[in-house]
């Protein structure tokens, strides 16, 4: 293939990007999006603060714009994210206990129902573990009880039985890291007890503090061996030039080597679209030109 999406499709995979609704009026941005990608993840528009700014008052305007654009252009959608300690509306941040638990369940039910049948995979729970390996103690959702993660997955399954349900996190790329082991143990436990989970998302934001690990393929293989798909959900790689390109190529080769690695999403299109305040972590430069990293990805696909 001559584009990322078409080449990935030839291998039975997708190639996606995070999309910001307000950029859908940028012709350069949309030109690259429509040409190269066949999966999109709303970068912020499906988060709790965006979709339920006041309790029980839902606003899908910006998320719907992205979903409509995707459907009109033959792209699928990864939903991101139903339950997360971050980017919550103020009213939810001020809740605790049973009230917060019920608000979470209501939020998941309403959002997943609104998008029922339109979402390939949901990041049902995002970033619930600490780098040290245990559950994240600074999450208000965790303080509603240890079962909140499985309650979130069961709620999402009931609302949209057709969507794949993913657990998504960062610093879960290196097989030897405590957080990777903690997420692995949770998924193994969920599979053993019949808690609905279909996929694990590795955000894979690679930088000097969290570099691409030599055992990345092992991590993908080990999660897949639990009976879930694995997806690379927010890929970006600090650096530039040949070094960055080589790492991008290696990530793609690792995914293709694991049959249950179903696709790769980069977290933005141009370097200027990146959430990173500085750096050049993406596949296109600020003018929308293909970087060496782009060519390395296309060659690896």
**Residue 269 vs residues 32, 81, 189, 256: alpha-carbon distances, Å:** 8, 20, 36, 21
| Shortest reach from residue 275's CB to ligand XIL, in Å | 3
Collapse the DSSP code of 71 into the 3-class scheme (helix H, G, I; strand E, B; otherwise coil) and give the result.
Answer: helix
Query: Hey, which residues between 197 and 216 contact ligand XIL (CB under 6 A)?
Result: 203
Q: Is 275 in the site for ligand XIL (CB under 6 A)?
A: yes
Contact 271, 284 (CB under 8 A): yes
Residues 110-129 interacting with ligand XIL (rule: CB under 6 A): 126
150 an active-site residue?
no
Return the DSSP state at 282.
S
Nearer to ligand XIL by Cβ, of 166 and 301: the residue is 166
- Active-site residue among 36, 52, 221, 234? 234
Helix (H, G, I), strand (E, B) or coil at 12: coil
Among 5, 32, 39, 43, binds ligand XIL (CB under 6 A): 43
Dihedral sign (CA 16, 17, 19, 25): negative
> Which C-beta is closer to ligand XIL: that of 168 or that of 262?
168
Residue 47, burial from CB neighbour count under 10 angstroms (0-12, 13-18, 19+): buried
Residue 80 contacts residue 47 (beta carbons within 8 Å): yes
CA separation (Å) from 82 to 131, 164, 244? 21, 13, 32
Residue 274 CB, nearest distance to ligand XIL (Å)?
Answer: 8
Shortest separation between residue 233's beta carbon and ligand XIL, angstroms: 8
Q: Is 44 in the site for ligand XIL (CB under 6 A)?
A: yes
| Minimum gap (Å) between residue 126 Cβ and ligand XIL | 5
User: Based on CB atoms, which residue is closest to ligand XIL, 58 or 275?
Assistant: 275
Query: With respect to ligand XIL, which residue has the nearer C-beta, 126 or 155?
Result: 126
Residues with active-site annotation:
234
Site for ligand XIL, rule CB under 6 A? 43-44, 126, 203, 234, 275
């Amino acid at each position: 293939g001559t584009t990322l999406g078409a080449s990935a499709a030839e291998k039975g995979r997708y190639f996606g990007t995070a999309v910001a609704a307000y950029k859908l009026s940028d012709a350069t941005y949309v030109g690259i999006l429509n040409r190269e990608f066949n999966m999109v993840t709303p970068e912020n528009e499906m988060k709790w603060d965006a979709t339920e700014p006041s309790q029980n008052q839902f606003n899908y305007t910006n998320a719907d714009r992205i979903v409509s654009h995707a459907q009109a252009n033959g792209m699928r959608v990864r939903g991101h994210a139903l339950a997360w300690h971050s980017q919550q509306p103020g009213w939810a941040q001020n809740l605790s206990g049973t009230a917060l638990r019920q608000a979470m369940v209501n939020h998941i039910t309403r959002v997943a129902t609104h998008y029922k049948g339109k979402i390939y995979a949901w990041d049902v729970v995002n970033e619930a573990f600490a780098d040290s390996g245990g559950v994240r103690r600074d999450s208000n959702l965790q303080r509603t009880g240890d079962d909140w993660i499985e309650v979130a997955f069961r709620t999402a399954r009931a609302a949209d039985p057709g969507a794949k349900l993913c657990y998504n996190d960062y610093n879960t790329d290196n097989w030897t890291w405590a957080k990777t082991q903690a997420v692995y143990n949770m998924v193994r436990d969920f599979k053993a007890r019949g808690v609905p989970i279909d996929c694990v998302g590795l955000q894979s934001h690679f930088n000097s503090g969290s570099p691409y690990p030599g055992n990345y393929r092992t991590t993908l293989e080990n999660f897949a061996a639990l009976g879930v798909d694995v997806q690379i959900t927010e890929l970006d790689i600090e650096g530039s030039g040949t070094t960055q390109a080589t790492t991008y190529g290696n990530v793609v080769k690792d995914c293709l080597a694991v049959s249950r690695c179903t696709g790769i999403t980069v977290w933005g299109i141009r370097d200027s679209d990146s959430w990173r305040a500085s750096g050049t972590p993406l596949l296109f430069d600020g003018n929308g030109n293909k970087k060496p990293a782009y060519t390395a990805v296309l060659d690896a696909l």
